[in-house]
Amino acid sequence: MRVKTGRRSIGVNFDKNGVAEIAIWAPLAHKVSIVLEDGKIDLINENRYWKSITKEIQPGTRYKISIDDLDPLPDPASLSQPEGVHGSSEAINLNVFRWSDSSWKNIPLEKYIIYELHTGTFSPEHNFEGIIKKIPHLLDLGITAIEIMPVGQFPGDRNWGYDGVYPFAVQHSYGGAQALQKLVDECHKNNIAVVLDVIYNHIGPEGNYLAQFAPYFTGKYKTPWGQALNFDDAWCDGVREYFIENVLMWFRDFHIDALRMDAVHAIKDLSPTHIVKEIRQHVDELEKNNGRKYYLITELDLNDPVFINPYNKGGYGADAQWIDEFHHALRVTSGQKPEGYYSDFNGIEHLAKSYNDAYVYDGQYSLHRKKLFGAKTNNPGRQFVVFSQNHDQTGNRMLGERTSQLVSMEMCKLLAAAVIVSPYIPMLFMGEEWAEPHPFLFFISHTDEKLAALVNKGRKEEFSYFNWQGEPPDPRLEKTFTDSMLQWDLLNNVTHKSMFGYYKKLIALRKTLPALANTDRKKTLAEADVETKILKLQRWSDEQRLECFLNFSDKDQPVPLAAAKQYKKIFDSSGSPSDQLIRAESIIIFERR
């Protein structure tokens, strides 16, 4: 079955007359039936997809699917799981929502200022409606795009989202499909783009019934999370179509503007056309058909620009990627111990290299990996997303400490500025704009107690890698979840309110200064002074030239600026009136007169 970009073709869908169309991929089955509360519908095999057109299913109908008369299971392409991952699927019509964003045009990628959030812990409501209520806060801050952690149905009500088992079903406890559509519509009304985090490298363990329908998995490869999805083995065509359909659904039916594709390096695919490239090709077709622009942003641990290179350079055509190496170098520069995956980074020299070259390792020997690693990239700055903290780098600490609990407030300010003044796309993690002290911990609510216990055991073993002592909080406990909630009332506190004002000013600088808004890496030059721990960063455009000095030391030092009379100070994170001195743990920005 060739994927149609204009409408979803798998699972249960409704045509313009409200008639249900069913298509279930089960290439090895001899019989497939839809099981309803008061009967069943036998499907007809059409080229390995089992199909039917019926009026017996209406929006709201609960159903399951039986393969060869075995116990019925939820639909792999279910759009709604109101009874959880083991319960019946619910038929819904994605086309009934009344959109008001017909005039919306996606923001140019270089103008994205991303705010990553977790729906469950972002607001007191723990749902999409709670995010809508905070849109005025995001606008006040200056955010132009939110990035929502995964929303595919997962076990229970508390989860990061990376254990999802129904990629098409919007988490019921968050409000479900229509609530997500409403959130996107409200964001677009306020000129905010929406990025959705999606997982195409694995499926979670609890409620994962895919293998009972078709060869969704292959034994050819292993992943850190279990079975590898089958993108290049026998019967892989249906798997590829499944995930391409998912991508198109988010863009077409939910008006999502960009997808952040989790850990694409863990996608195992030796096909002539890599699945990421095939996804991009279908998105290109969708763009032509509806006139909208969509972005694919990859999380990548390979330092290989093939994922973001255009087709004519042999690339897969993704629009951007995260670069964790900027984060790692930045954190070591600020005093983070060089252990675990930080052990390859020497601090300020590597930070300067990341400003200049994006990748720190672009062909050098990596002691951590014990091999030559990475390749050089000439891709523009708008193709890289940088950050000083995110869900991984916070939540994967044993105690989930945010930056505000690890360094001084002045260093927090410096780290934020280091991201904002870069030639890359900046991303914030929810709450950092007011120095939220609550941790962001790893939490789950699996209903399978044995599986939950194994997850807890695995967490403990993972932290031995960093030589961290003690016990991590139990991810199964509700307290672990509530301890990770943002504390919005802190915005009434003088210290936290002041930090929020600082972030507002930083983002305003990014938007208004041509040299900072520019993502041309050829107009960026960073130099590191290892002895003084001062990084000099030059940013320029046709209209403006800036000299930024980032002092990562604990000492006040003279500003190393030649011919100072030719420059005027336009920003100082310490608030110092002097333009001759750079305070400890601060940044000063000068503009050439």
Query: 10 Å Cβ neighbour count for 350?
Result: 21
For residues 404 and 16, give the distance between their C-alpha atoms in angstroms, rounded to a whole number: 52
Q: Is 35 helix (H, G, I), strand (E, B) or coil?
A: strand
Considering 232, 262, 278, 547, which one is annotated as catalytic?
262
CB 577 within 8 A of CB 560: no
Nearest to 248 by CA among 312, 192, 168: 168
3-class DSSP state for residue 260? strand
Pairing mode of beta strands 39-42, 32-36? antiparallel
Dump the DSSP string for 306-373.
Answer: GGTS-GGGT-----EEE-HHHHHHHHHHTT----GGGTT--SHHHHHHHHHHS-S-SSEEETTTTEEE
- The amino acid at 333: T
The beta-carbon contacts of 177-180 under 8 Å, at least 24 apart in sequence, are 177/79, 177/80, 177/92, 177/94, 177/254, 178/92, 178/96, 178/97, 179/127, 179/128, 179/129, 180/128, 180/151, 180/254
Query: How many C-beta atoms lie closer than 10 Å to residue 222's C-beta?
Result: 11
Q: Are 363 and 374 in contact (CB under 8 A)?
A: yes
Q: How far apart are CA 461 and CA 472, in angstroms?
A: 10
For residue 157, indicate whether it is catalytic: no
Please confirm, yes or no, whether 140 is among the known catalytic residues: no
Please enumerate in sequence order all residues whose Cβ is within 8 A of that of 281, keeping only pairs 6 or more positions apart, or say none.
Answer: 273, 317
Q: Which two tokens stand for residue 206?
A: 């609890």
Q: Which of 185, 206, 257, 299 is catalytic?
A: 299
In angstroms, rounded to a whole number, what is the distance separating the alpha carbons of residues 343 and 463? 15
Residues noted as catalytic: 262, 299
